[in-house]
Structure 1
Amino acid sequence: MSLSWNEIKDRALNFSREWENESSEDAEAKSFWDAFFNIFGVSRKRVASFERKVKKIDGKDGYIDLLWKGILLVEHKSLGKNLDRAYKQAKDYFPGLKDIDLPRYILVSDFARFRLYDLEEDTQHEFTIKELYKNIKLFGFIAGYQTASFKEQDPVNRDVPKAS
């Protein structure tokens, strides 16, 4: 049973209050992401794994903080760390993943800030943990809601036979 958007928004507000003062990646990142998935009524264990070992672009071993195969890759940093570098680090894992496991989304966070990249739509959204509830629909894919975008399409040109 999926949660309503109102329930999800309420859970996001509670999550933000609980985690707004956290700062240590080593101590709390795994609990943070378990709680994050719980916003959507999803058990993180059912969909994603922590510390997935992969070969990076330079041939060295790397460890993806969180991977939901084919859907989401998360790179988590301690408070105040550079999110651009976190994104680059996430992309450096791609050569070590099978094509089928490549994520549509990359999410980087330092507890206080989130940046979500949709690689299919080529979009990026950044917001603070206090603004999470306002941006929660960006994560509809976690809750099982379909994400769709509508773009301008070329008009259809076709010859219609005339009635005789």
Structure 2
Amino acid sequence: MSNKPLVLPDIRSRAGAFVAQWRNVEGYERGEAQSFVRDLLQVFGITRSTAAVYERRAQRASTGKRGYIDALISGTALIEMKSAGENLERAEAQALDYIESLTVHERPDFVVTSDFKFFRLLNLTTEPGEESVVTFSLEDLPAHV
């Protein structure tokens, strides 16, 4: 593996390959989410052994019940996956519910939710009046990297 930093054209190329690999996958959360997230993070040069924690136990602030964050890049992003066709706004609410149980250093700037076919990106650092949510299809991923 090269130590050369990734540049935008490389990331877009990797994103295109990711789209091609995942476009025809059914999108079942329990069976495919971790592979999807690992492959997605590799688009950005984040490998299995760096940065991300998978299936991190967390407590939901609203219910007190325990659950699992699909992937967490401390201080950067929380990723919550759902099966194809599931409601991403509900997935986002679940992710936000988990944030309360994270340490200050773990709390992310972004919440990414996906159902394998669509992404919803919530920027938690926007100023009032700025757009904080972007939703796009898997096919449009290269344009949104």
What TM-score results when the alignment is normalised by the length of structure 1? 0.79
Equivalent in the alignment of 1:105? 110
Q: Residue in 1 aligned with 2:135?
A: 126
Distance 2:93 2:139 in 1: 25
Distance in 2 (alpha carbons) for counterparts of 1:3 and 1:69: 21
Contact 1:33 1:44 (8 Å CA) reproduced: no
Tell me the distance in 2 between the aligned counterparts of 1:45 and 1:30: 14
Aligned to 2:86: 81
1:9 aligns with 2:18: no
The size of the alignment, in residue pairs, is 136
Match of 2:24 in 1: 21
Give the Cα separation in 2 of the matches to 1:75 and 1:41: 19
Q: Distance in 1 between matches of 2:117 and 2:111?
A: 17
Higher helix proportion, which one?
A: 1
Displacement of 1:44: 3.7
Matching residue within 46, 53, 64 for 2:50: 46
TM-score (norm. length: structure 2): 0.89
Other-structure match for 2:96 = 91
3-state SS, counterpart of residue 35 of structure 1: helix
User: Is residue 2:36 matched to residue 1:70?
Assistant: no
Large movers: runs of 4+ above 2 Å:
none
Gaps of at least 5 residues in structure 2 are none
